[in-house]
Amino acid sequence: MSLTLRTISREQHLAYIQSLPSASHMQVPAWADVKAEWRSENLGWFDERTGEMVGAGLVLYRQLPKIKRYLAYLPEGPVINWFAPNLDDWIQPMLAHLKQQGAFSVKMGPPVIIRRWNAETIKKGIQSPDVKRLRDMEADFIEPRAFEVADKLRRMGWQQGEDGGAGFGDVQPRYVFQVPLANRSLEEVHKNFNQLWRRNIKKAEKAGVEVVQGGYQDLEEWQRLYEITAVRDHFRPRPLSYFQRMWTALNSEDPNRMRLYFARHNGVNLSAATMLIVGGHVWYSYGASDNIGREVRPSNAMQWRMLRDAYALGATVYDLRGISDSLDETDHLFGLIQFKVGTGGQAAEYLGEWDFPLNKLLHKALDIYMSRR
């Protein structure tokens, strides 16, 4: 297949995404409005023979301080046939185009999963003194074609980004936790939860925890819980304006792109979460909770409701997003994987983010600048 690449309209881009079973929420045109501090461009790949669009990418450009050169970033993209035998023919025109646009370096995150570990395997790993990381265990599923993709990228001159390495604080997680929903009943999904999760869901029900959906007007209440969480977990919270922009941008593109949930007890909101939907892929994206009311298990109740809603939407996967690959109980991120493993899903490892230095000197300068921050 001979391919051509050109800039496309947002409408063309959205129509293409809507024709697919799913794509990353960071590759929908509206994501450009969420990341308002970046310049953006929509790219389309076309089959020369038929004129049909066969791939798309959202590119975000971040300007270097003081000079008109850019880092070009395709978060969890582009949306192309990554297993195509002629991967070169997809990637090279993109690099040539981005160079013309003034990019000195390109960063992308192929949405390709290499390995998956089932919850049972992870539990055994946690109990084994020899296992410190996910990769210390044999995976339950391996995608051999993913290794071919990595080889091809290396041969083209792409460099594998370090885990959580450079970037502008926007580096995407390499390891995520997902609950597969395709061809499963809700009863099966619930049965697969561990005992503690099932017990906590029951406890919340008994206590009368209510889970409700909120709207734009409730984002201030979301922010209150989110800022409490930020203090407790020692991270810098995003401002309220970010979530307001996210809501407006994503839901004007598709009224069901972003949802907000609250778990409340006796009229008091105890936990909250945002949910994103693109086709059959549903993400639990941000979570927040108060320091009070934990004994009535609001977070478990909320996740169960979100998972049921995802199922009702016909989702094939409920994605709990990032985890660390550490299975060491002393690791500060261990609680996160422990909580998510309780859902009986799978840990998935993506190919990770890759960099292509179009200008080696500026790319190196950026690396040094980022390492000092």
Q: Tens of pLDDT along 314-345?
A: 999 999 999 999 999 999 889 999 999 999 99
Instruction: For residues 287 and 362, state if they share a domain.
Output: no
Predicted confidence at residue 161, as pLDDT, reads 61
Do 89 and 170 have their domain in common? no
Query: Encoding tokens for residue 193?
Result: 């939860």
Shared domain check, 91 and 58: yes
Residue 265 lies in a domain: yes
Same domain, 121 and 37: no
**Residue 124 near residue 35 (C-beta atoms within 8 A):** no
The verdict on residue 68 lying in a domain is: yes
Residues 58 and 129 in one domain: no
- Name residue 60's beta-bridge partners: 40, 73
225: how many CB neighbours lie within 10 A of its CB? Answer: 20
Decide if 154 is inside a domain.
no
pLDDT value, residue 369: 73
Which residue do the tokens 């060491």 mark?
Answer: 328
Convert 234-254 to b/e letters by CB count within 10 Å (16 or more is b): eeebeeeebbeebbebbbebe
- Could you tell me if 60 and 175 lie in one domain? no
pLDDT in tens, the chain (373 residues): 899 999 999 999 999 999 999 999 999 999 999 999 999 999 999 999 999 999 999 999 999 888 889 999 999 999 999 999 999 999 999 999 999 999 999 999 999 999 999 999 999 999 999 999 999 999 999 999 999 999 999 999 999 965 443 333 348 999 999 999 999 999 999 999 999 999 999 999 999 999 999 999 999 999 999 999 999 999 999 999 999 999 999 999 999 999 999 999 999 999 999 999 999 999 999 999 999 999 999 999 999 999 999 999 999 999 999 999 999 999 988 999 999 999 999 999 999 999 999 998 888 887 777 777 6
Q: What pLDDT does 366 receive? A: 77
* Residue 55 belongs to a domain: yes
Range of the domain at 197: 113-142+163-350
Placement of tokens 């109980």 in the chain: 329
Q: Which of 118, 119, 31 is nearest to 79 (CA)?
A: 31
pLDDT (0 to 100) of residue 145 = 97
At 167 the pLDDT is: 35
Looking at the structure, do residues 57 and 14 belong to the same domain, yes or no? yes
Do 94 and 132 share a domain, yes or no?
A: no
Assess whether 322 and 363 both reside in one domain: no
Domain membership of residue 251 (yes or no) is yes
Q: Do 169 and 104 have their domain in common?
A: no
- End-to-end Cα spacing for the chain: 45
What pLDDT is recorded for position 162? 56
Same domain, 86 and 136: no
Q: What is the 8-class DSSP label of residue 85?
A: T
Instruction: Please check whether residues 69 and 132 belong to one and the same domain.
Output: no
What CATH number has the domain bearing residue 217? 3.40.630.30
Domain count, the chain: 2
